[in-house]
Amino acid sequence: MSPSLTRASAYTLSLAPIIALALVLVTLLPSDSRAAGSVTLVNDTFNCSSYPQPVDFDLVKVTITDQSVRRDGFHTGDNCTGRIDRIEIDISSGDGVKVGQGAHDLVIGGGFVRCNGNYGDVHQDGIQVMGGTRVTFQNLTVNCTTATNSAMYINEGASGNGRPTDVVCDGCTLMRGTDRNRALRIGDSLRSGARNSIIAWCGDGSSCGGGEAIWFSGAETDPVNQNNRIVLYRDLGTTPLPPPASPPPTGGGGTPPPTGGTLAPVRGDRPEISGTAREGETLRTSNGTWSNSPTRYAYQWLRCDTRGDQCGPIRGATSTRLTLGREDVGDTIRVVVTAFNAAGSASAQSRATSVVDRDRYRDRTSAEAPAPAAPTTETPPTEPAPAPTEPAPAPAPTEPAPAPAAPTVTAPVNTAHPAITGVAEVGQTFTASAGSWSGSPTTYAYEWRRCDASGDRCDRIRDAANLSTYVLTSDDVGHTLRVYMSASNAAGTGYEKSLKSEVVAAAPAPAADSTTAAGATDTAPAAADTTTSDATGDSADSTDSRTRKR
């Protein structure tokens, strides 16, 4: 055998253990593939809380074929929030979806839960809700013919750690399973249940083992049972769906929804927040997209922790805009948009913003500016004359003293506010001066902002970026302006904003034509040149021109 063939064979043999080890590792890795906003699992439970929150998946697909152990398809865990556009759960063992305490503000936008078998004769639900707050399933089909309890079961968990609150299946199809099963079972809960949904069951009480299509335990408070249609399982998909036999319960004395097929709004795309997450900036929200023709919208802004969790309403923040304040710094912001029509309402929550940053530009009066050090008049105390002593020996030669260290360069600090000059009138020009700064800045940047009449709630003017002048427009009428300055040198950047301008007024109407009674026009003598000059002969206009060029 040639030496080259021998070496090739040796390399192949040496790689064999590595390849075998790689195959073993691949086999042992969990079958979780996350790509393009999706999760696919086989014989493994999806645990929502193990992923970064809030979640935002296009698809979660779980297939459970192993019946040797009880295994659920989908667990929210104790901190699941966000949106999953579609779930596809095929199980042959435990519950399809299990919602626990701590899940909140979660929307599952569609898909199916399908039960193909069970582990022995243990309790099984298509959707089991043991806790959670503001959890919505939309357009979900639950087909669990093997379920030994319910297609959807809502009841506080045995540990008593929190009633399900505002947990609703909206536009769902809930299919009844075995004879002990109720399609929708509502136990100890608050404002939870189903609306605009199809409840499919086997028929009368005798053939269903005494079960009901919808069952109430008596421990529920304000259950949701609105505009649902109860149909026979055998007729599902083969005959037109009949209307409810009687007006559905309102669960709290509300007005029953109208009949005639009108459905409450169903969310498509979530609301989106635009704007910069910084103190003093204004955020805006879209409505998102909705089906079933909403007629009006309501808004509630939320202040959340840095992860977008633990949200609470911001008092009075109920419009499409929110101006961020000092109290928002260090938090994130969400908004809930609620869509209404004659049949009801539905809510959708935006993603969280980035963490709100502080405003780097601070109002500072001249009293707060660093004061120059006062000159000292003290003289150092004189030492008493030393007593005569023996002449000291000549000092040994020493190394020359090191050269003094170069002065430390520090970032610029503002010592006098930037200023705005000009007439506060549409068509006139405002000019910004940089003010005074320590640290010898080498560059300046300008940012014009339009504020309310008191100089607060300022929005950046997009088409005036980094200009020292700004021509006033009709958009500025009734507003004040500020210029936000930054000054930089090699050590860093300092920030300051100007005092507010005067309130901008509209341009005056053009003057009437000064025509004499005889139709002749008076001719005024030429105006004298009123341009002032300084000692160097430069006019004020030319000086101002030089200032603008800087």
- pLDDT tens for 514-529 read 554 444 444 444 444 4
Put simply, whether the predicted model's pTM sits higher than 0.75 gets the answer no
Beta-carbon contacts of residue 175 (< 8 Å; ≥ 6 apart):
141, 142, 143, 144, 145, 151, 183, 200, 233, 236
Residue 144, pLDDT score? 74
Residue 397, pLDDT score? 64
pLDDT bin (cut points 50, 70, 90) of residue 283 is very high
Residue 249, pLDDT score? 37
Task: Tell me how crowded residue 5 is: count the other CB atoms within 10 A of its CB.
Answer: 9
Distances (CA, A) of 332 to 106, 141, 335, 336, 460: 17, 34, 11, 14, 21
Q: How many residues does the chain have?
A: 550
Average confidence (pLDDT) over 34-46: 76
Residue 33, pLDDT score? 36
Sheet holding 224-226, edge to edge: 55-57, 82-84, 104-108, 133-138, 165-170, 193-195, 224-226
Residue 439 CA to residue 361 CA, distance in Å, equals: 17
* pLDDT reading at 243 higher than 60: no
* pLDDT reading at 78 higher than 60: yes
The CATH number for 266-349, chosen from 3.40.50.300, 2.60.40.2220, 2.60.40.2700, 3.30.70.20, is: 2.60.40.2700
* pLDDT reading at 231 higher than 70: yes
The helix or strand, by DSSP H or E, that contains position 26, with its residue range, turns out to be helix 3-28
Give the three-class secondary structure for 51: coil
pLDDT bin (cut points 50, 70, 90) of residue 294 is very high
Lowest mean pLDDT among 69-73, 235-239, 400-404: 235-239
Which DSSP letter does residue 425 get? B
Average confidence (pLDDT) over 458-477: 86
**Cβ proximity of 464 and 507 under 8 Å:** no
* pLDDT reading at 297 higher than 60: yes
- Output b/e per residue, 480-509; b: 16+ Cβ within 10 A: bbbbbbbbbbeeeebbbbbebbebbeeeee
Residue 8, pLDDT score? 44
In the chain, % of residues over pLDDT 70: 66
The helix or strand, by DSSP H or E, that contains position 545, with its residue range, turns out to be helix 540-549
* Range with top average pLDDT, 34-48, 56-70, 192-206: 56-70
Lowest mean pLDDT among 109-113, 245-249, 402-406, 421-425: 245-249
Average pLDDT of the chain, as a whole number = 74
pLDDT bin (cut points 50, 70, 90) of residue 62 is very high
Residue 193 CA to residue 150 CA, distance in Å, equals: 13
Residue 524, pLDDT score? 45
- pLDDT tens for 171-230 read 898 876 555 557 888 888 999 999 998 887 765 444 454 456 788 777 888 899 888 887
Distance of CA 205 to the CA centre of its chain: 49
The answer to whether 266-349 and 360-365+410-506 have equal CATH topology is: yes
pLDDT bin (cut points 50, 70, 90) of residue 6 is very low
Residue 155, pLDDT score? 87
* pLDDT reading at 539 higher than 50: no
Give the three-class secondary structure for 317: coil
Task: Tell me how crowded residue 79 is: count the other CB atoms within 10 A of its CB.
Answer: 18
pLDDT bin (cut points 50, 70, 90) of residue 159 is low
Distances (CA, A) of 88 to 62, 100, 130, 200: 6, 19, 21, 20
* pLDDT reading at 367 higher than 50: no
Place of tokens 């040796």: 10
Strand bridging mode 419-421 / 429-433: antiparallel
What six digits make up the tokens of 545? 């021109």
**Residue ranges of the domains in the chain?**
25-235, 266-349, 360-365+410-506
pLDDT bin (cut points 50, 70, 90) of residue 369 is very low
* pLDDT reading at 29 higher than 60: no
The CATH number for 360-365+410-506, chosen from 3.30.2420.10, 3.30.110.30, 2.60.40.2700, 3.65.10.10, is: 2.60.40.2700
pLDDT bin (cut points 50, 70, 90) of residue 333 is very high
Average confidence (pLDDT) over 245-254: 34
* pLDDT reading at 535 higher than 80: no
* pLDDT reading at 492 higher than 80: yes
Residue 167 CA to residue 151 CA, distance in Å, equals: 15
Residue 61 CA to residue 32 CA, distance in Å, equals: 10
DSSP bridge partners of 285: 273
* Range with top average pLDDT, 134-138, 385-389, 412-416: 134-138
In the chain, % of residues over pLDDT 90: 23
Lowest mean pLDDT among 50-64, 145-159, 279-293: 145-159
* pLDDT reading at 299 higher than 50: yes
Residue 161, pLDDT score? 62
Residue 338 CA to residue 241 CA, distance in Å, equals: 28
Q: Is 310 left (phi over 0), alpha (psi -120 to 50) or beta?
A: left
Residue 541 phi, psi dihedral angles, 5° rounding: -60, -45
Residue 540, pLDDT score? 37
Distances (CA, A) of 523 to 134, 512, 528: 78, 15, 15
Q: How far apart are the first and last CA of the chain?
A: 83
Residue 314 phi, psi dihedral angles, 5° rounding: -90, 120
Number of H helices, E strands in the chain: 2, 41
Q: Is 316 left (phi over 0), alpha (psi -120 to 50) or beta?
A: left
